[in-house]
Amino acid sequence: MKLGFARKKIEDTAALDQVREWTRARFELAEDETVMVSEVSCSVPGCPPIETHIVFWTARGRHHYKIFKPLAEVTGDDLPPAFMKNALIALDGADCDCC
């Protein structure tokens, strides 16, 4: 049994950076606005086995969305359109176990 953190491949780091850049550009985020990208495995029936979760914070609050594919397969076309930015805001009290 191996314990501890898995070492990320250089390709994973490049994919994380690319999705962060696409998100920052798509939603016109300032450099000081945080963008978090993670690949998450899902064991819920009917859920894709691996999802990419994207979360970013603005003055209006926390925004989040999922892309139902592994990080390495995400393209810029998978991101929601810019006009949906406000629709991605996480509402207070909303039950969200993703982020």
pLDDT band at 97 (very low <50, low <70, confident <90, very high): low
Q: Name 35's bridge partners.
A: 56
% of the chain at pLDDT higher than 90: 66
- CATH for 55: 3.30.160
Looking at the domain assignment, is residue 94 inside a domain?
no
**97 in a structural domain:** no
- Domain assignment present for residue 4? The answer is no
Instruction: Examine residue 60 and state whether it is found in any structural domain, yes or no.
Output: yes
Read off the amino acid at residue 6: A
Longest Cα–Cα distance in the chain: 47
Evaluate whether residue 95 is within a structural domain: no
pTM: 0.79
Q: Quick check: is 93 in a domain?
A: no
The band of 90, judged by pLDDT with boundaries at 50, 70 and 90, is confident
Q: How far apart are CA 55 and CA 78, in angstroms?
A: 15
Measure the CA–CA gap between 66 and 41, rounded to whole angstroms.
12
Whether residue 17 is contained in a domain is answered as: yes
Q: Mean pLDDT over residues 38-48, rounded?
A: 87
* Residue 64 burial class via C-beta count within 10 angstroms: exposed 0-12, middle 13-18, buried 19 and up: middle
Which residue segment(s) compose the domain that 83 sits in? Answer: 10-88
Give 46's contacts (C-beta < 8 A, 6+ positions apart). Answer: none
Q: pLDDT at position 42, please?
A: 83
User: Stretch 31-41: mean pLDDT, rounded?
Assistant: 93
Tally of domains in the chain: 1
Structure confidence at residue 5 (pLDDT):
42
